[in-house]
Chain A
């Protein structure tokens, strides 16, 4: 897929309050913090200016969304497809939002004026985990996203929002994984109890903060037919792992549950 024409203007929608999803890794889609507020509250000048900004932002966003998704959908694509996704259509991931464009625009304006509590989705829905799992259903995922929505992972989510696919797989980035695979530290800094016979031992690796070694032996989703090696000598070398995370070049071998090319639900 080609670079989009206007990719120079980083992200035309980044400032739009539309989906309430923003760029924050810790946020779940479809949630908004907007307080309920009636028209009567807009008295001070600051308030009026705020309404002005909101209306402006809403209009800007509505304009961009409504007028930029051509049939070929290319105009606004944010960047190159991620490895493996080159052949997908835009609509494979971007579902249309509920309602007609006019309904969406009216709801957006109502939100701008404080007559509605939550901003509507305009044009397309945010891409949720569910969309990804329609093609990537891994019944035995070692780290299933939904488990990390539990309230007790509050602190961990602030460091790495493991409850969202797109935290690690930023789409339109041309990369397989958007980080260096050392985020294991967030949840596994207490491996003292593990007495698996590996060399060096897990407690030694943790004590030495060798978070660069984990993915040399382990995959994250456990979706490959393989056993973790017992020594670093038998493990992949660090650079090979980094290359895999960047380009998606095959590394861990045969998959247990391969992707489907079509949404299954």
Chain B
């Protein structure tokens, strides 16, 4: 009898320990909480728009204008003896590298069907989806079943004359007939959830921006060690001097260009959910 009572008591204690949720239940990773949920497709679109702007700014204002005032940009920018910054594609790669050092499963890549660098060639599912982008000019979405990732691909367009001339002239480029505004490749984005909350999307945007900042800061660090370092401050190369904007100034310019579009998009998403 006593033994039975003890067992019963033990069991109920166990049940309380196991089921009574005095401590709040652990949140599940990749599951959107209550409130507005945003399909990953739309979240990717917000991030890709941010990326387009950072990429445009880097290509035009730093690489394009920088070359005119005597700054160099090179494929081998990471080597110590080379006094140069990263080419547009490599700035993007550095941004992706910065991103995977942060606590997120968000990743992105740049590729093409006619790449300068063979390792950037699309294969498999990505090649099929990219053919669709070529045909329609529209972004594509699919699922990577191995990782249970959502995947988005956004066209990467020749937005500046420099994109076209550099690729057409490059010895390793399989094509020499790129034209302005043509789709030259695509960015591929992956994330392991079908939807995110508004808050999570804001976090992802923050992570993306911090990664861009990290990439830019790394360039500034290298520039500061050049034999004849450019002045770093509020001025831009377009002002005609061999100068570079500080990380704050660079990020402010990104913010200014994309924030209103991003905020409008977030409002739209919040409204659509109601």
- Which residues from chain A sit less than 8 Å from chain B, CB to CB? 26, 28, 30-31, 33, 98-100, 102-107, 109-110, 116-118, 120, 129-130, 133, 137, 139-140, 144-147, 149-152, 154-155, 157, 193, 265
Contact = CB atoms under 8 A, between A and B. Distances in A.
A140 B26 contact: no
B26 A98 contact: yes
A152 B192 contact: no
Given A137-B101, A151-B151, A151-B190, A105 B18 contact: yes
B188 A117 contact: no
Given A105-B17, A139-B78, A151-B124, A30 B24 contact: no
18 contacts: A99-B26, A103-B25, A104-B26, A105-B17, A106-B21, A106-B23, A118-B28, A118-B29, A130-B103, A140-B78, A145-B100, A146-B107, A152-B127, A154-B124, A154-B146, A155-B124, A193-B118, A265-B101
Interface string B1-38: 00000000000000001110101111011110000000
B58 interface: no
A116 B28 contact: yes
Contacts of A107: 25-26
B168 to A, nearest CB: 21
Contacts of A118: 28-31
A250 B87 CA distance: 35
Contact of B148 (A33, A137, A145, A152): A33
B111 to A, nearest CB: 8
A252 to B, nearest CB: 18
Nearest to B20: A106
- Which one of B26, B30, B100, B124 has the greatest number of beta carbons of chain A within 10 Å? B26
Contacts of B146: 26, 154, 157
Given A146-B107, A151-B188, A133 B23 contact: no
B101 A151 contact: no
Contacts of A144: 97
B123 interface: yes
A21 B127 CA distance: 29
A102 B124 contact: no
A160 to B, nearest CB: 15
A27 to B, nearest CB: 9
Interface string B172-215: 00000000000000001010100000000000000000000000
Given A103-B23, A105-B18, 20 more contacts: A26-B146, A31-B148, A98-B26, A102-B23, A104-B26, A106-B26, A110-B25, A144-B97, A147-B109, A149-B107, A149-B147, A150-B109, A150-B188, A150-B190, A151-B125, A151-B149, A151-B190, A152-B124, A152-B127, A157-B146
B59 interface: no
Contacts of B26: 98-99, 103-104, 106-107, 120
